[in-house]
Structure 1
Amino acid sequence: MKTVVVFRHVPFEDLGTLGDTLHECGYQYHYIDTPITALATFDPLHADVLIVLGGPISANDETGYPFLSQELAIIRQRLAQQRPVLGICLGAQLMARALGARVAPMGVKEIGYGPIQLSSAPQAAVLAPLSDIPVLHWHGDRFEIPDSAIRLAGSQVCDNQAFSLGKHALGLQFHPEVSQTGLEGWLVGHACELELAGLSLGELRQQAAHASASLALAAQQVMTRWLDQLHT
């Protein structure tokens, strides 16, 4: 069975619906909670796939969170060797930084369910199942597209929502993985941020109730497409 290592930054931001898809595609995964795990002995090239999840910190804050320096080094080494990496939100921002691109605040929060618009690049076909599906957005920073990568999608609030590098690397600013039940953990874990932003828990729950079933199916299709292309 193929192996997946999942870098997780906070427990409630996990693989969500993508965990079942990995198993169905013949992958066995395990989490590494990077804030509390020593990464010095981690072999960056060992796993078949590395997935780097989101988290409520800045991709630029190695001073406050020194483990980010190790994550960046691991991601950079895998990308240099064209070993598969999938990044979601913070994970995609770290991928962008590892490839030399800038990550900076947008000046506004993008939180809630909304559509993405796919670019005209042929590589955007991997995201085609999501073209008419509201996805979960939850970020205040924006990555620039690395020089070596292809822009795949944007939204009305954030022009850069996804990029790819070859067939082996996919960065997603949005969250395809969160289920309706899983969102409840986010509402607790991000309670302070939501209060400061003046966002309604009831509205977010309504959005999730409307979108989650379709999003789960589309996310499964995207993940399967990406994993399949690793072997073509």
Structure 2
Amino acid sequence: MTDRTLTVITHVDDPSIGVLEAAAADNSWSMTMVAPFRGDPLPGVADLDALVVLGGPQSAYEVQDHPYLSDEIAYLREAHAHEVPVLALCLGSQLLADALGGRSRPGDNGLECGFIDVTATDPESLLNGTFFSFHSDSADPPPDAEVLARSDRYLQAWRTGRSTAVQFHPELDGPGIEALLALEGAKLRQFGVDVDAIRESIPTSGPQPGRRLLDTWLDDVPVRDPAHH
């Protein structure tokens, strides 16, 4: 297998993506980070092997405050039309919904933070399990989307074509979750979140909860045919 490049759109300066980095390295992918919020240009979609769009503190529907999000939405629409494999996480999943005919919006069940139980529509799916989640926004999926998984409070995953949206955070490893809790701990406690209980739930050994999910997604990416683009 020749090295392929995983293009990753980030919405913060130093994203915690330890599980994704390990999965990419072990599956012979190189990785390039793009930060539109800093003014980085988005690469041409014809040059993409696969695209991951990360979460962030922004809200997808606040495009007036963050004009670059409009560019990302248009870019996701184009990538989907070119059948680029897209994995959109948290904020990314909401941007993907806006791009493909769904709608991002404030969530109607409050803040979902911590390790949540995700139930897939397919009993055999790797989406079944306990994963770290941190969001209060949500999205209505595009009309043609296949719903893949839910928690007791929110839609957690859907897919249309080669585009997959995941609301929780398979990319975060233990240190990444620790860093997020350290950054947001005071705010979370104001919402009544038991930050110490979440911290004690972080796996300290064995595979990270999202690893098999990311391995499988990367393994399913077809080799790009340049002539197709």
Q: Under a length normalisation based on structure 1, what TM-score does the superposition of the two structures give? A: 0.87
Superposition RMSD on alpha carbons, in Å? 2.0
User: 1 or 2, which has the higher helix percentage?
Assistant: 1
Matched, 1:151 2:135: no
SS in 2 for 1:134: strand
Partner of 1:138: 134
Within the alignment, does 1:194 sit opposite 2:182 as a pair? no
- Find 2:26's aligned residue among 24, 27, 51: 24
Alignment partner of 1:228 is 2:219: yes
Unaligned segments of structure 2, at least 5 residues: 224-229
Native 8 Å contact 1:12 1:189 kept in 2: no
Residue in structure 2 matched with residue 57 of structure 1 by the alignment: 58
Name the structure 2 match of 1:164. Answer: 159
- Runs of 4 or more above 4 Å deviation: 212-215
User: Relative to 1, partners in 2 of residues 1:90 and 1:213: Cα closer, same or farther, differing over 3 Å?
Assistant: farther
TM-superposed CA distance for 1:130, in Å, is: 4.1
Read off the aligned partner of 1:138 and give its amino acid letter: F
Which residue does 2:226 correspond to in 1?
A: none
CA separation of 1:63 and 1:192: change in aligned 2, threshold 3 A = farther
C-alpha distance after superposition, 1:142-166 (max 9, x if no partner): 11121122100000011x1101122
Q: How many residues align?
A: 220
Runs of at least 5 residues in structure 1 that lack an aligned partner in the other structure: none
| Contact 1:12–1:185 (8 Å) recurs in 2 | no
Q: What SS does structure 1 have at the residue aligned with 2:98?
A: helix
Q: Give the Cα separation in 2 of the matches to 1:214 and 1:66.
A: 41
Conservation of the 8 A alpha-carbon contact between 1:161 and 1:174: yes
Q: Which residue of structure 2 lines up, in the alignment, with residue 219 of structure 1?
A: 210
Partner secondary structure for residue 9 of structure 1: coil
Shift of 1:231: 2.6
Structure 1 residues 44-86: Cα deviation after superposition (integer angstroms, max 9, x where no partner): 3312011100001111111101110111111110001111111
* Whole-angstrom distance in 2 between the partners of 1:38 and 1:85: 19
